[in-house]
Structure 1
Amino acid sequence: MSAERARPAREPRRSHLSIPAIRLRSVPVLRYAGTPDDAEGTRIQNRGPTASPRGPGGGVGPGEVGNFIVTGHRTSHSAPFRDLPALRAGDRVRVHAGQTVYVYRVTATRSTSFRSQRSLAEQSAALPGRPNADPVRSMITLSTCATPEDHAAGNYWSDRFDNPEHRIDKVGVLVAELVVD
């Protein structure tokens, strides 16, 4: 099966994320209509799972061409992305959605600033980092707070949802789709 499908068969409301390199296993990913780290996304993360926005300003579902965005807490609320900054190029990310496991390979690390509209647009772009480019591949952006780094630099700014100024984003490309029973 091609790793460049335009749209997977009916995406379930909940999928599960596993990242072997940081010992993350089967963390729920809840989709919602919105943008990364908005009120609804923050509410979802505050309950412990990760959140995945859809629609204008959000991303696409797993396996779809474009940017599948998953956000999670790093320092609170079960901290599923506690060790996300340790991911390196080449590490694998698995997303189990319905009968399919999507395997992504990490290719890059980005920084996003909540105080920069351009930076936010780059994070949410269909082609991560390139807001006006058309996507041609299925990609993933895993995003978490840079609170420890911001605080170490003396930056205590936060938005109305208590997000720190900076996010650490790990970007990857889809390399395989596995059908499971």
Structure 2
Amino acid sequence: MRPRPSRTTATLVGGAALLLAACGSDPAALGEDLGGDRLGPASPSKSSEPSDLSEPSEPADTPATPPAARPTTTRSPDRAAAPAPEPARSFLTVPALGLRDFPVVRYVGSPDDAPGTAIQNAGPMASPRGPAGGVGPGVVGNFLVTGHRTSHTMPFADLPSARAGDRVLVRSGEVELVYEITRTRWTSFRSPRSLAAQSAPVPGRPEQEATRPMITLSTCATPEDHARGNYWSDRFGNPEHRIDKIGVLVERRQVR
């Protein structure tokens, strides 16, 4: 077992200066390319992903022969129950990192844009939605979560040390979703292609169609960039590179 200091949910602080923290482990050690568009070797998942259940088809009505004087009536199809709306916040736990029930706030936008940076600076992690973002927890596609490493509440201080097979628990309303980390990729903020791949429905593989719920945990690689003399940053203080941990959904259960 890898020893991890226990971390509890940090007290949310007020909005601070838009400085992003960095994260990461050595890209050479991870077998990643600093260009951001190449994926490292995928590690096989230790748990098989649950297969989706097909919706049962509605049986066709068998028409009865009505009496001559009585008109026939048609039956309206049953309406499917609407899914419960996604809460504004979900809560993320990574036992291997000592991270427990840390709040994640959803918003419309793209990873680490102005609204996402403001959310992270105020304390929680951020999860973008919409065409430039991702989907909600448990939905087929890419559930993106971004967080600081060395400033503010530092929820992803140890994210780069997460390994294939580590579990990620996301509590959303009355459901708890269990993801398993399978691989690591690097994203370059200076490459539109790399950024598009980060938020693709299949993380890092925009040419593929999503068929299962996936997750991307992302934090920035400022120490690694600075160690190589790369001091580039965008207007929000993001360094060029981010380290992304990608996982797949392996279990869904009700919270009691």
TM-score > 0.5, shorter chain as reference: yes
Q: 1:46 to 1:71 in 2, by over 3 A?
A: same
Is structure 2 residue 195 aligned with structure 1 residue 120?
A: yes
Show structure 2 runs of 5+ residues with no match: 1-49, 54-81
Is structure 2 residue 216 aligned with structure 1 residue 144?
A: no
The root-mean-square deviation of aligned C-alpha atoms, in Å, is 1.6
Is structure 2 residue 139 aligned with structure 1 residue 76?
A: no
Higher relative contact order (CA 8 A, sep 6+): 2
SS at match of 1:120: helix
Q: 1:3 to 1:23 in 2, by over 3 A?
A: farther
Kindly indicate which of the two structures has a greater share of residues assigned to strand.
1
Question: Aligned equivalents of 2:119 and 2:237: distance in 1?
Answer: 14
Show structure 1 runs of 5+ residues with no match: none
Q: 1:3 to 1:68 in 2, by over 3 A?
A: farther
What displacement does 1:36 show? 0.3
Q: 1:110 to 1:143 in 2, by over 3 A?
A: same
* Contact 1:3 1:138 (8 Å CA) reproduced: no
What displacement does 1:92 show? 0.1
Q: 1:161 to 1:135 in 2, by over 3 A?
A: same
Alignment of 1:1-181 (within 5 A): 4=52, 9-181=84-256
* Contact 1:4 1:63 (8 Å CA) reproduced: no
Quote the sequence identity (%): 68
Question: Aligned equivalents of 1:82 and 1:163: distance in 2?
Answer: 16
What displacement does 1:4 show? 4.4
SS at match of 1:127: coil
Q: 1:160 to 1:3 in 2, by over 3 A?
A: farther
What displacement does 1:178 show? 1.1
Q: 1:4 to 1:82 in 2, by over 3 A?
A: farther
Question: 1:33-92: CA deviations, max 9, x gaps?
Answer: 000000000000001110000001100000000000000001111110000000000000
SS at match of 1:96: strand
TM-score normalised by L of structure 2: 0.68
Question: Aligned equivalents of 1:152 and 1:28: distance in 2?
Answer: 31
* Contact 1:111 1:168 (8 Å CA) reproduced: yes
More displaced, 124-133 or 94-103? 124-133
TM-score normalised by L of structure 1: 0.96
Larger Rg over CA atoms: 2
What displacement does 1:132 show? 3.0
SS at match of 1:80: coil
What displacement does 1:129 show? 0.9
Aligned length: 180
* Contact 1:67 1:139 (8 Å CA) reproduced: yes
